[in-house]
Amino acid sequence: DERTYIMVKPDGVQRGLVGNIIGRFEQRGFKLIALKLVHATPEHLEKHYADLKGKAFFPSLIQYMASGPVVAMVWQGLDAVKTGRAMLGTTNPLQSSPGQYSFAYGTIRGDFALAVGRNICHGSDSVESAEKEIGLWFPEGIVQYTHDQAKWIFE
């Protein structure tokens, strides 16, 4: 089954959005296979965002991501990478769809954020980057267990 690396960024942790974000992935039917709170070093974050090195915003991105703890997670399920990105919304939250009613979910960024440099969450952009990011954030490996709900979620 496909796996994706999802991370609540320091602003999401500080704003108390961890439970809400985890809840959306649980509710959708994804299986949680790794989770931890980490205050990452700039060196670690430079590896995570290695493909953005050279962008004008790179130093401020690293500073933002190192400004507090993040919640690192791996979620598994059907089309996890693409669906995870869709649940996050666009990089710039201003272009992301908010929920139609206050009690309905839109995208995470569309519901909670306004600025591209404070966009709450990260999601892997391809299966290859997901596997690279999972290795970087969880070098200790991942717990195996049976997700009993799966038989009610998939045919």
Residues that bind Mg ion (CB under 5 A): 125
Instruction: Mark whether 147 is an active-site residue.
Output: no
SS3 36: strand
Nearer to ligand GTP by C-beta: 3 or 122? 122
**Span interacting with ligand GTP, options 33-41, 121-129, 130-138, 140-148, rule CB under 6 A:** 121-129
Going by the DSSP 8-state scheme, the letter that residue 83 receives in this structure is H
**Min. distance of Cβ 105 from ligand GTP in angstroms?**
18
User: Which residue, chain included where needed, has tokens 């809840």?
Assistant: 23
* By the rule CB under 6 A, 24 interacts with ligand GTP: no
Question: What are the tokens at 85?
Answer: 């990105």
Residue 9, marked binder: yes
Give the CB-nearest residue to Mg ion: 125
For the chain, give percent helix, strand, coil, nearest 5. Answer: 45, 15, 40
Residue 107: alpha-carbon gap to chain centroid: 12
> Binding site for ATP, residues?
9, 57, 85, 91, 109, 119
